[in-house]
């Protein structure tokens, strides 16, 4: 799915990377691959994944030293996956900012369960106590990144859903343009305000009854945007508006 959570797999073993990709994509995740620590930081800064699976035995850097660098560039949860079994390594990784530590070998069901639990916890921490946010007759699941309207799923691009999720985590509060750029695209996109305008227009065309006079996706001129969850459902809305050509 285009709006699936993006998982960055930081692993230099190509065979193991392929296994990860097969397992994760079968469960509906989108995978991003990085075989070195340097590449991992580049992917985090430019693609802003939703979760990082980090091996410690990388060719250019010890993964333990990479955790603080990841944390400095992203709030995405980090699950360390490593063959190191010493308590010291586990404690060091967790103290540095990792959210979980999984020792190799492990089963695919255990990995997926750890990921689901970590994403749920992260969604609650970022969005208060709830993992879903409602506005009008829409419901956004912050864990699966799925937007629904009644019994139907609303199809958004991965970028659109990430932008909406960022607003939803801070619903009814102003989110600055700077923070929207960082959380949606990554730290490499600071200063690209035009991205926000283009994608916000696309979201309004899909979600608002009248994109020119939005009820949910509100702009605060010169500051940023806000998701208004208190607006009543517009009586004339019968389905998401088509995106203009």
Relative orientation angle of helices 14-26 and 108-126, to the nearest 10 degrees? 70
* Per-residue pLDDT at 25 exceeds 60: yes
Average of pLDDT values for 90-99? 93
Q: How many helices (H) and strands (E) does the chain have?
A: 8, 12
Query: In the prediction, which pLDDT does 39 show?
Result: 96
| Total of domains in the chain | 2
* Lowest mean pLDDT, pick from 18-22, 31-35, 171-175, 241-245: 241-245
Do 25 and 101 sit in the same domain of this protein? yes
Share of the chain above pLDDT 70, in %: 92
Full-model pTM: 0.77
Range of the domain at 61: 6-126
Residue 237 in domain: no
Asked if 66 and 139 sit in the same domain, the reply is no
* Spatial separation of the C-alpha atoms in residues 154 and 206, rounded to whole Å: 9
Q: What is the pLDDT at residue 244?
A: 34
Per-residue pLDDT, 127: 63
Looking at residue 129, its pLDDT comes to: 63
pLDDT at 234 over 80: no
Q: Is 241 within the bounds of a domain?
A: no
Asked if 110 and 140 sit in the same domain, the reply is no
Report, in angstroms and rounded to the nearest whole number, the Rg of the chain calculated over CA atoms: 19
What's the rounded Cα separation, in Å, for the pair 35 and 7? 14
> What is the pLDDT at residue 123?
83
Per-residue pLDDT of 35-48, as tens digits, reads: 999 999 999 999 88
Mean pLDDT across 81-102: 93
Do 87 and 189 fall into the same domain?
A: no
Give the domain-ending residue among 70, 99, 126.
126
The angle that helices 37-47 and 63-73 make with each other, rounded to 10 degrees, is 10
Examine the domain organization and report whether 51 and 163 are in the same domain.
no
Q: How far apart, in whole angstroms, are the C-alpha atoms of residue 217 and residue 240?
A: 14
Confidence of residue 4 (pLDDT cuts 50, 70, 90): confident
Q: In terms of domains, do 141 and 109 share one?
A: no
Per the domain annotation, does 245 fall within a domain?
no
192-210 pLDDT per residue, tens: 889 899 999 999 999 999 9
CATH number of the CATH domain containing 36: 3.40.50.2300
The pLDDT, as a whole number, for residue 221 is: 87
Say which range, 25-39, 47-61, 227-241, has the weakest mean pLDDT.
Answer: 227-241
Output the pLDDT for position 238. 36
Q: How many CA atoms lie within 13 A of 198 on its CB side?
A: 7
**More confident of the two residues 60 and 242:** 60
Q: Which CATH number characterizes residue 220's domain? A: 1.10.10.10
* Residues 223 and 193 occupy one common structural domain: yes
Q: Are residues 70 and 151 in the same domain?
A: no
pLDDT at residue 187 tops 90? no
Q: Where are the alpha helices (DSSP H) in the chain?
A: 14-26, 37-47, 63-73, 87-96, 108-126, 158-169, 177-184, 193-207
Domain assignment of residue 169, yes or no: yes
CA distances from 74 to 37, 67, 116, 128, 172 (A): 15, 10, 19, 19, 23
Q: Could you read off the pLDDT of 141-150 as tens digits, one per residue?
A: 988 889 999 8
Report helix angle 63-73 to 87-96, nearest 10: 20
Domain boundary among 126, 143, 164: 126
Same domain (yes/no): 91, 171: no
Tell me, yes or no, whether 121 and 164 share the same domain.
no
Q: Within its chain, how far is the Cα of 160 from the centroid?
A: 11
Q: How does 55-64 read in b/e, with b if 16+ C-beta sit within 10 Å?
A: bbebeeeebb
- pLDDT tens digits for 57-69? 999 999 999 999 9
Q: Does 240 reside within a domain?
A: no
Residues 148 and 38 in one domain: no
Boundary-marking domain end, from 73, 91, 126: 126
Question: Is residue 243 one of the residues assigned to a domain?
Answer: no
**Same-domain pairing of 67 and 148:** no
For residues 79-84, average pLDDT? 94
For the chain, give the mean pLDDT: 89
């Amino acid at each position: 799915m285009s709006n699936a959570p993006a998982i960055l797999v930081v692993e230099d073993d190509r065979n193991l990377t392929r296994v990860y990709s097969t397992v994760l994509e079968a469960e509906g995740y989108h995978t991003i691959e990085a075989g070195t620590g340097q590449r991992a930081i580049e992917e985090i800064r430019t693609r802003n994944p939703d979760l990082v699976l980090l091996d410690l035995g990388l060719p250019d850097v010890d993964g333990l030293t990479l955790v603080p660098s990841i944390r400095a560039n992203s709030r995405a949860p980090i699950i360390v996956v490593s063959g190191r079994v010493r308590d010291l390594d586990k404690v060091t990784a967790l103290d540095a900012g990792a959210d979980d530590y999984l020792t190799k070998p492990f089963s695919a069901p255990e990995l997926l369960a750890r990921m689901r639990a970590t994403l749920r916890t992260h969604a609650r921490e970022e969005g208060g106590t709830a993992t879903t946010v409602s506005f009008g007759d829409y419901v956004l699941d912050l864990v699966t990144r799925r937007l629904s309207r009644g019994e139907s799923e609303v199809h958004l691009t991965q970028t659109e859903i990430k932008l909406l999720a960022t607003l939803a985590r801070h619903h009814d509060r102003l989110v600055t343009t700077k923070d929207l750029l960082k959380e949606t695209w990554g730290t490499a996109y600071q200063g690209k305000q035009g991205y926000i305008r283009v994608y916000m227009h696309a979201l309004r065309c899909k979600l608002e009854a009248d994109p020119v006079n939005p009820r949910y996706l509100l702009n605060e001129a010169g500051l940023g945007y806000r998701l208004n969850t208190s607006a009543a459902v517009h009586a004339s809305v019968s389905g998401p508006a088509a995106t203009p050509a």
